[in-house]
Amino acid sequence: MEIADARRKLLELSQQRGTSLSALSRLLGRNSSYLQQFVRKGSPRKLEEVDRAILARYFGVAESELGEPEEISFAKGLTADADWVDVARLELGVSAGPGALDEGEQSVGSLRFSRNWLRQRGLDPARLSTVEVIGDSMEPTLRDGDEILVERLAGAPRDGVHVVRLDSALLVKRLDTSRPGRLMLLSDNRAYPPIEVDFGDAHVIGRAVWKSGRI
């Protein structure tokens, strides 16, 4: 794709999504005028590879639509299956509020992650799934509608943000394991009081290791 076509495509995608170029620039960690200058003034002449990859993932389009050279796009196509992992997105809802009922771990699609990215972080794709956060009790860390990558627990739980099944509810809470035989489920939003339970009364499903969210 020609660079001029890539600029038009980016503008079209942002308008379709209802997202400003300034917001997209901040998503990339750039100053707010970065993409405005790219689209309107042609500076920079082309998007950096990392920026192009993030935007393509955000809009759900191929990088070639945002100016990736054809020879690079072709080479990626040859190794796509080896370089990427599809992680199941489960339809169970993880409450960050009073609690969501577990409707069963039914896959409703997947999110794609770089195999190398997962390997660098010591994450085993076979133990991963993604779920949607519901509620505001973990704000500002997690917001309603955020997607979290959950690594199923392989050993004893430790402090950190985890998905926990308590009775018939699934919760995402910060764990405090400092009290022998007891488990504290903490909310980052101080409007929600701590929940203290016996270790045997709660099932710690997995640890939240990554999040994504809407702008």
Q: Are residues 93 and 23 in the same domain?
A: no
Bridge partners (DSSP) listed for residue 84: 114
Cβ 66 vs Cβ 47: under 8 Å:
yes
The tally of domains found in the chain comes to 2
The predicted-structure confidence for 170-206, as pLDDT tens digits, reads as follows 889 999 988 888 899 999 999 999 999 998 888 888 8
Q: Which of 24, 47, 77 is the last residue of a domain?
A: 77
Quote the pLDDT of residue 209.
92
* % of the chain with per-residue pLDDT over 90: 16
Quote the pLDDT of residue 105.
54
Domain span at residue 39?
3-77
Q: Check residue 159 and report its DSSP letter.
A: S
CATH number assigned to the domain comprising residue 139: 2.10.109.10
Q: In 3-state terms, what secondary structure has residue 87?
A: strand
Q: Which of 50, 77, 104 is the last residue of a domain?
A: 77
Cβ 104 vs Cβ 92: under 8 Å:
yes
Does the reported pTM lie above 0.75? no
Q: Are residues 98 and 173 in the same domain?
A: yes
Q: Are residues 38 and 121 in the same domain?
A: no
Q: Which of 61, 77, 93 is the last residue of a domain?
A: 77
Given the structure tokens 């929600």, which residue do they identify? 192
Whether residue 115 is predicted with pLDDT greater than 80 in this model: the reply is: yes
Quote the pLDDT of residue 19.
83
* % of the chain with per-residue pLDDT over 70: 83
How many other C-beta atoms are found inside a 10 Å radius of the C-beta of residue 122?
8
Q: Are residues 103 and 23 in the same domain?
A: no
